[in-house]
Amino acid sequence: MHSARQTGSSQLKSLLGIDPSSSVEMTESDLRQCMEAFRRFENKQGRFPVAKLIEGFEAAQTFVSETVIEESMNSLAAQGVESMEFYDFATLVCSKKLRKRRSTHACLKAIFRHLDQDSDGFISAEELQMSVEALMGDGQAGEPAERLAERMIGQLDTSGSGKVSYDQFVCMLNHSISS
């Protein structure tokens, strides 16, 4: 039994619940963040210590629950894996990022579908007004729901159609989050 067992990438993927035959999407930004995190914690053998995964995820700006990361750490520790190469670290981090992106996308889609009451693929001022009234009551937001909905649509509707598409909805949320 090896104390710092070397494990092949496909075996490591299997241990972590990642399909060994799949490739993991990595953006240039993902790759840069992984490289910076890897370099920050790599050991003298040029490998990433499994014990530093929580800190590594934070350094790579991948915010998943510590429980999820601890499950990966425990799975690796049970197999005697104490460290990993850059490719394996980046694959693990990016697979979690991708899973989180998909989850976020699914939530946004569900919210959009709820607001798009006639299922035409757009949110109209009338649909938004009904949602605002249901959430806050007419006039509870400091201005009538109709005027508030029209103002919101005006800010989001970059095409001038009087409606908001899913892409415009997501762009608005991304802008709100980054502001």
Q: What is the predicted pLDDT for the residue at 22? A: 55
CATH of 9-100, one of 1.20.1260, 1.10.238, 1.20.120, 1.10.287: 1.10.238
- Mean pLDDT on 79-88: 89
Give the model's pLDDT for residue 38: 94
**Worst-scoring range by mean pLDDT, 25-39, 57-71, 133-147?**
133-147
Residues 50, 82: contact at Cβ < 8 Å? Answer: yes
10-44 tens-digit pLDDT: 555 455 555 555 555 677 888 889 999 999 999 99
Domain over 116-178 is classified CATH 3.40.225.10: no
pLDDT greater than 90 at residue 63: no
What whole-number distance in Å separates Cα of residue 157 and Cα of residue 159?
6
Pairing of strands 163-165, 122-124: antiparallel
Q: How far is CA 40 from CA 33, 61, 62, 146, in A?
A: 11, 13, 15, 53
Token pair 């697979």 in the structure block, residue:
95
